[in-house]
Amino acid sequence: MADLRVNIAGVDFANPLIAASGTFGFGREYQEFYPLSTLGGISCKGITLMERPGNPPPRIAETPSGMLNSVGLQNPGVDHFIEKDLPWLKQQGTVVIANIAGNTQQDYCRMADKLSASSVDLVELNISCPNVKQGGVQFGTSCQGVEEITSAVRKYCKKPLMVKLSPNVADIGEIAKAAEAGGADAISLINTLTGMRIDIRTRRPILHNNTGGLSGPAVFPVAVRMVWQAAQKVKVPVVGLGGISTWQDAVEMLLAGASALQIGTALFTDPYAPVKILDGLNRYLDENHIASVTELTGAVCPYGN
């Protein structure tokens, strides 16, 4: 059996599979299927300074090989997370990542401050949520915005800081560099691509928010490309996500430059997807006599054009 351990920003993960934020809640629903220690880590549902009610329904629309969501960061707020969810999560034998989103820079900083005093293992800065009116992605679509928010949060964040990048940008490599320059210990990408569906009978968008975030296998090639481009521009580890649903996808994303992976939408198709991906990854490593999963990171051999 190959060595599946990875280290991201100084944090040890038993394996490179992390549940992606927004698809896994705070973990409780999935422990019915398998112990959460099966996963290397859990990126919790995005939390905000105060409780958020979320967007009106419908919040979900299926698309070819994927889905749109516009949940709108419904969450009980950071204090509730620290008091009610974190203590339980910390007993599950997996790395706990707090995903934070704010309306203002001050919100982000206050949350980072609160979480610094908690037992959370890592903070994921969500500057890429397309489903809220204020904040979210507005911080994540310009290099200046990314560097500013990252360095501001960095001052308050005593935990390793991972910045989750939006794919809705012109040059992902430059955005990744901006996050690194701002003091990110790791970056994760991609968040969802903004999309829309319209009901041709009613002429209404399917989502009440009109637009939503596209995820699932449909975005996988975009994610691979962006991880590949970003990984070449930064020294910090890259956590790859976006449509990973099979072990082959996992290998591909690692080859593109990812040091760890997040699994999201695949959980909806099959809650056991992480278990199956881990099995397949293990077999692949053994069959190819690869001692450690870390050997795959960035091992793609691109054509020299």
Partner 1 sequence: MKYDVKQCKILRKREIAKGIFDVTVHSPEFAQAAQAGQFAHIYVPGKTLRRPISICGIDREKETLRFVYQIRGEGTQILAEQNEGDDLDILAPLGNGFQLGDPSRKAVLVGGGIGVPPLLGVAAAYGHNATAVLGFRSKDAVILQDDFAALGCAVRIATDDGTAGHHGVVTDCLQDLDFSVIYACGPMPMLKAVCRVARERGVECQISLEERMACGIGACLGCACKLHRDGKEFYGHVCKDGPVFPYQEVCLE
Catalytic residues: 129
Beta-carbon contacts of 27 under 8 Å, excluding residues fewer than 6 positions away, are 19, 36, 42, 44, 89, 92
The four Cα atoms 290, 287, 13, 65 give a dihedral, to 10 degrees, of: 120
Tell the smallest beta-carbon distance from residue 213 to partner 1 (Å): 12
- Residue 83 Cβ, how far from partner 1 at the closest point, in Å? 19
Q: How far is the CB of 62 from partner 1 (least distance, A)?
A: 5
Q: What residues does 13 pair with on adjacent strands?
A: 6
Beta strand spans in 73-216 (E): 95-100, 122-126, 161-164, 186-189, 193-195, 198-199, 204-205, 212-215
Tell me whether residue 20 or residue 255 sits nearer to partner 1 (CB atom): 20
Minimum CB separation of residue 5 from partner 1 in Å reads 26
Q: 128 with 166: CB under 8 angstroms?
A: yes
- Compare residues 69 and 294 and give the one whose CB is closer to partner 1: 69
How far is the CA of 61 from the CAs of 99, 181, 266, in angstroms?
24, 37, 15
Q: How far is the CB of 198 from partner 1 (least distance, A)?
A: 15
- Residue indicated by tokens 């793609």: 300
Q: In what helix (H) or strand (E) does residue 17 lie, and over which residues does it extend?
A: strand 17-19
Q: Give the pair of three-digit tokens for residue 71.
A: 């949940």
Residue 124 phi, psi dihedral angles, 5° rounding = -110, 120
Identify which of residues 45 and 114 has a Cβ nearer to partner 1 in the complex: 45
Considering only the C-alpha atoms of the chain, give the largest distance between any 2 of them, rounded to a whole number of Å: 56
Q: Which is nearer to partner 1, 67 or 123 (CB)?
A: 67
CA distance 13 to 16: 7
Q: Are the beta carbons of 189 and 177 closer than 8 angstroms?
A: no
Shortest distance in whole angstroms from residue 120 CB to partner 1: 19
Interaction site with partner 1 (CB under 8 A): 22-25, 29-30, 32-33, 45, 53-63, 65-67, 69, 71, 74, 206, 216-217, 265, 267-272
